[in-house]
Structure 1
Amino acid sequence: MFEQSVVVDLDADESALVERIAELEWLKSAAAAAQARVTATLDEKRRSAEAARGVPAAKRGRGLGSEVA
């Protein structure tokens, strides 16, 4: 699926190439937004699980950033 969305016709004219760049920029932005939402959800779930296990608030969520980077 992803491979099809990044196919570029290198023989296309300039207008088509500019349009394709715009489409890819939109795709990149959409992926970044989805990644941010999923990361926030993971953080929320992780902190909730750690709270349930009695982890002190100051230590909850530690290491999550390095997991998703």
Structure 2
Amino acid sequence: MDFREETPEEKRERLRQEELKGNPMGTLGDGVNRAQFGSFADLVGGLGWKGTGILIILLVLGYVIYKLVS
């Protein structure tokens, strides 16, 4: 058997899956609100630090290009 420590990402995913199994309709409102308003924490958690860095660079470059054009 594998007795390694669970990473924080694995623990969050395991807890999320357990919540979905235990209360599938209770998380429906959370999912709708998250889809409607977005959650930066969920986005960053899914991307990791490299993806987040690339996202920030793209946002800054987009802003600079916008300012240069307008």
**TM-score above 0.5:** no
Give the TM-score category using the shorter length.
0.3 to 0.5
Identify the structure with the greater helix proportion: 2
TM-score normalised over the length of structure 2 = 0.36
Structure showing greater Rg: 1
TM-score normalised over the length of structure 1 = 0.37
